[in-house]
Amino acid sequence: PFEVLIVGGGPAGAAAAVYAARKGIRTGVVAERFGGQVLDTMSIENLISVPHTEGPKLARALETHVREYDAEIINGQQATKLEQVADGFRVTLASGASLTGASVVLSTGARWRRMGVPGEQDYVNKGVAFCPHCDGPLFKGKRVAVIGGGNSGVEAAIDLAGLVGHVTLVEFDKMLRADEVLQRKLKSLPNVTIITSARTTEVKGDGKRVTAIAYEDRTSGEIRDIALEGVFVQIGLVPNTEWLKGTLALDARGEIVVDRHGQTSIPGVFAAGDCTTAPYKQIVIAMGEGARASLAAFDYLIRLPAE
């Protein structure tokens, strides 16, 4: 059995592993795909002290750093169940095997909901983006669309309007769903166009980069194109916590509820990164939270009664 069993091998899980292993306690990391969302990212320019890196390179660096310590990495394995057992917790894997830990750090991350239209997948990192904090500056002076008129879409559009040439906000519904104050702010900006009742149907490109999106005007049924260089898809970030439903407290979005120590509703189970209720989903934040969760797990372990 491990003393700290970490589920998820993205930036949060890697940081948790380094911090746990440095305490000299038996540490294991089980991950479906070690590296996490970073593997799907091209350019990373906001990891402080690393002015520029690329996703696959950062993923390798995360693994190298974890392997410098005595932490065991179990890659390519999906956790399907978490249970409390006599001496801690058992995590069951899709393969049928199971692992146990005296404490657990959950860091299973999240995934951006996709539109599921032709061209979207082909142009990820070639104009299709999901994170305005990450990729906004790459579109300086250019034309972009934001898909989605909820809070995150409208926040993204306001943020991008200060960086890019022009923003078109595209909403499926008849009206935006964002808070009134955000909508007012958005409507006050000179370089923003808002299109409602619009169903995005395609991301178009020249093979190398995005050149346009097509949408159906849901009132007239007409298909129209918008020429642009970038598309930010803001229709939801889904935490990878389906397997934890009914086991510990999740909020309405499925995010694991944590306190300021990263403690979940089960003592001894901690969580960090994009899978939690902690706001702002970023690499540097996930790393900080992973470190904090392992320090909290260590505090928990040293308070367990001696056998």
Per CB under 6 A, residues contacting ligand FAD are 7-13, 30-34, 36-38, 40-41, 44, 46, 78-79, 107-110, 112, 130-131, 134, 240, 243, 273-274, 281-284, 286
- C-alpha triplet 19, 23, 29: angle, nearest 5°: 50
Question: For the chain, give me the number of helices (H) and strands (E)?
Answer: 6, 19
Where in 36-125 does DSSP place strands (E)? Answer: 43-44, 53-54, 71-75, 79-85, 88-93, 98-106, 110-112
In this structure, which amino acid lies at residue 121?
Q
Minimum CB separation from ligand FAD for residue 180, in Å?
Answer: 28
* Identity of the residue, 228 or 256, whose beta carbon is nearer to ligand FAD in the bound complex: 256
Least distance (Å) between residue 96 CB and ligand FAD: 14
Q: Dmax of the chain from CA atoms?
A: 72
Q: What separation in angstroms does the CA of 79 have from each of 18, 106, 272? A: 21, 10, 16
- Residue with Cβ nearer ligand FAD (137 or 189): 137
For ligand FAD, give the closer residue by CB, 38 or 231.
Answer: 38
Choose the catalytic residue: 70, 134, 217, 275: 134
Q: What are residue 241's phi and psi, to 5 degrees?
A: -130, 10
Structure tokens at 225: 């194109």
Which residues partner with 98 through β-bridges?
A: 92
| Min CB(287)–ligand FAD separation in Å | 8
Q: Is 101 annotated as a binding residue?
A: no
Compute φ and ψ for 116, nearest 5 degrees: 75, 35
Closest CB to ligand FAD among 194 and 297? 297
145 annotated to bind ligand? yes
275 is catalytic: no
The reply to whether 255 sits in an annotated binding site is no
Which token pair is 286?
A: 């996930």
Q: CB 88 → ligand FAD: shortest distance, Å? A: 18
The verdict on whether residue 51 carries a ligand-binding annotation is no
Known binding residue 148? Answer is yes
Residue 8 vs 198, nearer CB to ligand FAD: 8
Q: Let me know the angle formed at the C-alpha of 52 by 48 and 57, rounded to the nearest 5 degrees.
A: 105
Annotated ligand binding at 59? The verdict is no
Which of 131, 179, 225, 259 is the catalytic position?
Answer: 131
Q: Binding site: which residues?
A: 3-18, 143-157, 264-274
Residue ranges of the annotated binding site for NAD(+) are: 143-157
Active-site positions read 131, 134-135
